[in-house]
Amino acid sequence: MSEELIVERAGVQSLVVAAPRWGHRHEAVAWCGAFDRRAYDDAHAILGNEAAAAAIEIAYGNACVRFTSARTFALAGADADARLDEEPIAAYRAIEARAGSRLRFGLPRDGARTILAIAGGIAVPSVLGSRSTDLRSGFGGFQGRALRDGDRLPLAARGGQLPRAREAVKRDARFRVVRERIHCRDAAAFTELCSRPWRASPQSDRMGVRCEGEPIRGERREIATLAVFPGTIQLPPNGFPVVLGVDAQTTGGYPVIASILDEDLWKLGELRLGEEITFTPVQSIDLNADLGEGSADDAELLEIVTSANIACGGHAGDERSMRETVRAALRCGVAIGAHPSYPDREGFGRRAMEFRSESIVAFVTEQIAALARIARDEGASLTHVKPHGALYNRSAVDVETADAVAGAVAGFDRNLALVGLAGSLSTERARAFGLRTVEELFADRRYRNDGGLVARGEPGALIESAEEAADQAIALARSGRGESICLHGDGANASAFARAVRQRLLEAGFVLRSAASLDG
């Protein structure tokens, strides 16, 4: 007889959860997965299960399951007064159940969701790379739905690893947030978000936590649809913020005023209805590098930066280099962007060239499309576009060139952000085309008094000391003039410079995250 777990009482909402469904948001498929990811990871680690094994998430307790055979299990997350055959049991420990044992859950004393992991996991098929339930779309998990009384869940074969204990993590309802400046130019809305407490509305669910309190006055508008992610904080016209959860939609048309740090997302899943919530602002900055240009430092730089601008055939790069760099960026969790240039491989894209606007649109579009196709093949999607070399410099000062580049990006995908020199025509014109923009600063280039860059050919244009570059990066990040700092990947000491800049920013309390991607 197959081993099963019988659901005798499903409670308010119990469902099969697993690791998120990565890599399909461009197809309008939500991540889903455990709402309290930390509890999910802990429960499986206690049992020695594979990291993506399926478990049960029990919201607000009041549930009961019965084992048809002896099994080891572990609980993590909310303390729901769990009892095995009427005996109280501890969470964050491996516990043995006998055949016929009943595991009952009362109401949570603290938190909202309890993870029940079974040695080996729940035996449900993987759909689009995950065993998690997608309630809204009706697939994955157990029959694509929440569990019901009488469901019989098949159990997978037990693993051979020895169980080990974990310690419970004390939770709170304080969330660290960064302002999404490229999506919301209204700083007052972010200030209001962080200036007062909120409460989790009873209308909250796995798609999002609705906040109740005094409404925010600014940003009463809808915007062009853009990509959103778990942890994104939207501001609807009524002024009450919504924090998107693990089952959140993939796009939205409300202003995005902030995002919760990834490290705090697990706490969303444990919020109790009516609980007080506070948001604490933190400073963030993006570190980007131009990669796929033949430098030996690419692998090291991908361990340091948060965004990669990948050469896509104009000045450097081919099918092989683009694919290898995309794969490496995915492994490192780095945002992927296109780095188009004038078609000038001989001059590495640094020579001034004359092209009609329609020609610029054509070759920029062609280069973006080449990288986007490879990214899709690898289960990724582009987040931004940053022109290279002479095209970058020309678009910063010439309206026709700036419009051609912005038009190419907007025509290809309006969800892409355009990266350009801070305060330049490049980003100004991109916004006129309805694009998100990332204002870029440089750690290893000297600036003129008017805010422009000293030309590369002039003496002292390049900063050669890693310490000086780190000092400049701190000053630029604190100035608020931009969202991203470029670390050139083709210098003699590229990785040493990048490492020094990253370390100094972390020591100064900055959070490093992609500026173009809302999932950080």
Bridge partners (DSSP) listed for residue 419:
438
Extract the tokens encoding 327: 């794969």
Residue 449, pLDDT score: 83
282 vs 291: CA distance, rounded Å: 29
Q: What is the percent of the chain where pLDDT is above 70?
A: 95
Best CA proximity match to 376, nearest among 413, 350, 347, 349? 413
Quickly name the fold that domain 284-512 has: TIM Barrel (3.20.20)
Please state, in angstroms and as integers, the Cα–Cα distance from residue 497 to each residue in 304, 375, 472, 488, 491, following that order: 10, 28, 12, 9, 9
How many Cβ atoms are within 10 Å of 280's Cβ, its own excluded? 11
How buried is residue 26: exposed, middle or buried, by Cβ count under 10 Å (0-12/13-18/19+)? middle
Contact 429, 404 (CB under 8 A): no
pLDDT at 161: 65
Place of tokens 């779309």: 137
CA distance readout (Å), 285 to 346, 359, 448, 483: 34, 34, 22, 6
What pLDDT is recorded for position 134? Answer: 98
pLDDT attached to residue 520: 47
Alpha carbon distance 122, 124 (integer Å): 6
Residue that has been written with the tokens 């002479």 in this structure:
390
Distances in whole angstroms, Cα of residue 404 to Cα of each of 343, 362, 363, 367, 392: 15, 9, 10, 14, 12
The average pLDDT across 51-66 equals: 98
Q: What are the structural domain ranges in the chain?
A: 4-154, 175-281, 284-512
Locus of tokens 């055959």: 85
Tell me which CATH homologous superfamily contains domain 175-281.
Answer: Cyclophilin-like (2.40.100.10)
pLDDT at 515: 86
List Cα–Cα distances, 480 to 137, 423, 477, in angstroms.
41, 11, 6
Q: Quick one: pLDDT at residue 184?
A: 64
Interval 506-518 mean pLDDT = 86
Closest CA to 97 of 88, 85, 105: 85
pLDDT at 81 over 70: yes
What digits encode the pLDDT tens for the residues 105-141?
999 999 999 999 999 999 999 999 999 999 999 999 9
280-315 tens-digit pLDDT? 999 899 999 999 998 888 999 999 999 999 999 999
pLDDT at 296: 82
pLDDT at 223: 66
Is pLDDT at 25 greater than 70 in this prediction?
Answer: yes
Q: How many CB atoms lie within 10 A of CB 234?
A: 22
Q: Centre a 10 Å sphere on the Cβ of residue 126 and count the other Cβ atoms it contains.
A: 14
- Confidence (pLDDT) at 490: 64
Task: pLDDT band for 180, please (50, 70, 90 cuts).
Answer: confident
3-state class of 212 per DSSP? strand
Confidence at 198, pLDDT banded by 50, 70, 90: very high
User: What whole-number distance in Å separates Cα of residue 210 and Cα of residue 275?
Assistant: 11
pLDDT in tens, 228-285: 889 999 999 999 999 999 999 988 889 899 999 989 999 999 999 999 999 999 989 9
- Comparison of pLDDT for 246 and 170, the residue scoring more: 246
The mean predicted confidence, pLDDT, of the chain is: 92
- Torsions phi, psi of 364, nearest 5? -65, -45
Asked if the model's pLDDT at residue 227 lies above 80, the reply is: no
Which amino acid, 427? T
* DSSP string of 371-440, one letter each residue: HHHHHHHTT----EE---HHHHHHHHH-HHHHHHHHHHHHHH-TTSEEEEETTSHHHHHHHHTT-EEEEE
Which residues pair with residue 476 across a beta bridge?
A: none
- Per-residue pLDDT band for 473 (boundaries 50, 70, 90) equals very high
What pLDDT is attached to residue 464? 86
For residue 143, what is the DSSP state? T
Question: Quick one: which H or E segment has residue 187?
Answer: helix 187-195
Please tell me the distance from the alpha carbon of residue 104 to that of residue 111, in angstroms, as a whole number: 17
Tokens for 223, please give them. 């915007």
Q: What is the mean pLDDT of residues 86-112?
A: 97
Tell me the torsion sign for CA atoms 134, 137, 140, 142: positive
User: Which percentage of the chain shows pLDDT scores above 90?
Assistant: 78
Q: Which of 13-17, 158-162, 167-171 has the least mean pLDDT?
A: 158-162
Q: What is the pLDDT of residue 220?
A: 58
Tokens of 376: 């899709």
Flag whether pLDDT at 165 surpasses 90: no
Torsion of CA 511, 221, 253, 439, to 10 degrees: -40
Over residues 422-448, the mean pLDDT reads 93
Q: Report the pLDDT value the prediction gives residue 343, as an integer from 0 to 100.
A: 98
